């Protein structure tokens, strides 16, 4: 029987010592309800892991991306467990770490919208920045042997010209990027000072049909589906000149996992290496649906940012060489995948789980 997912007490959730379970790898994902967390949970479950997700109590429902993974913890052979907690509660993190004793910890949580970080710089610094040190310190203090993944971001490169690699200087130009940079350096600091297996994945933008529509790719793919269906006429956007290196999220979570399987801890760029402007993404998305974008896209200055950095184009040759990781889906192919998913979701009617325009991105995407 499948029940609605809810965070449940860890005490009754941690499996017993039945044969085979002792050897099973356990992963703890903080931010499991977000795009990356949900794909990573799927990947790890497929690899035979026992997966524990930390879920922040939210006044709004935010489990849509993991609904399909959840089963009642009292059923036999359940390997996916949810626990109340968040990156603001160090004591709770310590308790969960002690009880679960994970082999791998993934920090994918924190407010992740760049524009929102200008409105809520303090909250962003607390969640995306200090959240990492709370988790690292909880791991260190609890004394468990585990590997730690920190979701660093290409936003940290900010004004540094492309292509950006692991040794490119960071020049952050948003509160979000500054917060992420703190988390990045504290992760390195724990690795170097305490010998922890702690790594940073410097991920360039990675998207999917599970992206919240406050991010431009999903905003566009969703708009294309609605315009094609005759529900809307226009989509309002900010800068079309901005350039990103857009990849496909399921491929990026594979890269995250590979970083924790390496012989030595290190920091890696995850990117496609291809440049796509917002305009090109928009044109590809509308074209895929047989629409002329120039008839349907309008400018709205509210979507301009106080600061817009250099083009973010990554060079992930180190990840290719040492981890055997390579992105396959790039900007325009990604646009087609996302439009197809939104068109299908609309055709299947009802409120698809990814269709939550009532929730702000920071709440749905991050769930820290």
Residue 243's contacts (CB-CB under 8 Å, 6 or more residues apart) are 275, 276, 277, 278, 311, 312, 313
Q: Which of 70, 148, 176, 252 is catalytic?
A: 176
Q: Which of 38, 152, 153, 221 is catalytic?
A: 153
Cβ nearer to ligand G4F, comparing 7 with 259 = 259
- Measured CA to CA, the distance from residue 80 to residue 15 in angstroms comes to 10
Cβ nearer to ligand G4F, comparing 70 with 248 = 248
Report the nearest approach of ligand G4F to the CB of residue 180 (Å).
7
Quick one: which of 183, 184, 148 has its CA closest to 166?
184
Instruction: Using alpha carbons only, give the angle 355, 244, 159 rounded to the nearest 5 degrees.
Output: 125
Cβ nearer to ligand G4F, comparing 139 with 242 = 242
Cβ nearer to ligand G4F, comparing 217 with 228 = 217
- Measured CA to CA, the distance from residue 142 to residue 260 in angstroms comes to 20
Q: Which of 42, 50, 104, 155 is catalytic?
A: 155
Q: What is the CA radius of gyration of the chain?
A: 20
* Active site annotation includes 236: no
Report the nearest approach of ligand G4F to the CB of residue 61 (Å).
22
Nearest-CB residue for ligand G4F: 242
First and final CA of the chain: distance in angstroms? Answer: 29
What are 50's two structure tokens? 């026992």
Q: Which residues bind ligand G4F (CB under 6 A)?
A: 112, 114-115, 153-155, 204-205, 214-216, 219, 237-239, 242, 244, 278, 303, 305, 308, 312
Q: Confirm if 93 and 134 have CB atoms less than 8 A apart.
A: yes
351 CB burial (10 A radius; 0-12, 13-18, 19+): exposed
Cβ nearer to ligand G4F, comparing 96 with 223 = 223
Report the nearest approach of ligand G4F to the CB of residue 368 (Å).
12
Please report, to the nearest 10 degrees, the dihedral formed by the alpha carbons of residues 279, 281, 283, 285 taken in order: -150
Report the nearest approach of ligand G4F to the CB of residue 287 (Å).
18
* Active site annotation includes 153: yes
* Active site annotation includes 57: no
Report the nearest approach of ligand G4F to the CB of residue 308 (Å).
6
Q: Confirm if 80 and 54 have CB atoms less than 8 A apart.
A: no
Catalytic residue numbers?
153, 155, 176
């Amino acid at each position: 029987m499948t029940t609605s997912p809810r965070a449940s007490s860890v005490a009754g959730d941690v499996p017993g010592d039945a044969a085979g379970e002792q050897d099973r790898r356990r992963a703890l994902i903080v931010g499991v309800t977000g795009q990356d967390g949900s794909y990573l949970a799927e990947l790890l479950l497929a690899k035979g892991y026992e997966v524990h997700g930390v879920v922040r109590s939210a006044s709004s429902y935010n489990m849509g991306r993991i609904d399909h993974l959840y089963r009642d913890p009292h059923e036999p052979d359940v390997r996916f467990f949810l626990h109340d907690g968040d990156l603001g509660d160090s004591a709770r993190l310590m308790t969960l770490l002690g009880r679960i004793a994970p082999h791998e910890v993934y920090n994918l949580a924190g407010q992740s919208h760049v524009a929102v970080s200008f409105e809520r710089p303090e909250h962003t610094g607390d969640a995306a920045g200090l959240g990492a040190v709370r988790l690292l310190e909880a791991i260190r203090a609890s004394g468990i042997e585990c590997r730690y993944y920190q979701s660093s971001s290409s936003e940290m490169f900010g004004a540094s010209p492309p292509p950006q690699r692991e040794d490119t200087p960071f020049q952050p130009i948003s509160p979000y990027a500054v917060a992420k940079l703190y988390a990045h350096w504290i992760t390195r600091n724990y690795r170097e000072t305490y010998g922890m297996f702690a790594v940073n994945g410097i991920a360039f933008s990675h998207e999917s049909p599970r992206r919240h529509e406050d991010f431009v790719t999903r905003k566009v793919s969703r708009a294309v589906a609605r315009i094609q269906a005759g529900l809307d006429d226009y989509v309002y956007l900010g800068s079309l000149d901005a350039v990103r290196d857009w990849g496909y999220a399921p491929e990026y979570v594979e890269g995250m996992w590979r970083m924790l399987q390496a012989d030595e801890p290190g920091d890696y760029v995850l990117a496609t290496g291809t440049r796509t402007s917002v305009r090109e993404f928009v044109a590809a998305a509308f074209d895929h649906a047989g629409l002329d974008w120039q008839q349907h896209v309008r400018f709205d200055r509210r979507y301009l940012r106080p600061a817009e950095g250099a083009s973010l184009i990554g060079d992930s040759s180190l990840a290719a060489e040492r981890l055997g990781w390579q992105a396959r889906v790039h900007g325009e192919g990604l646009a087609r995948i996302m439009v197809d998913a939104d068109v299908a979701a609309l055709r299947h009617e009802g409120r698809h789980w990814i269709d939550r325009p009532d929730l702000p991105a920071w709440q749905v995407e991050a769930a820290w």
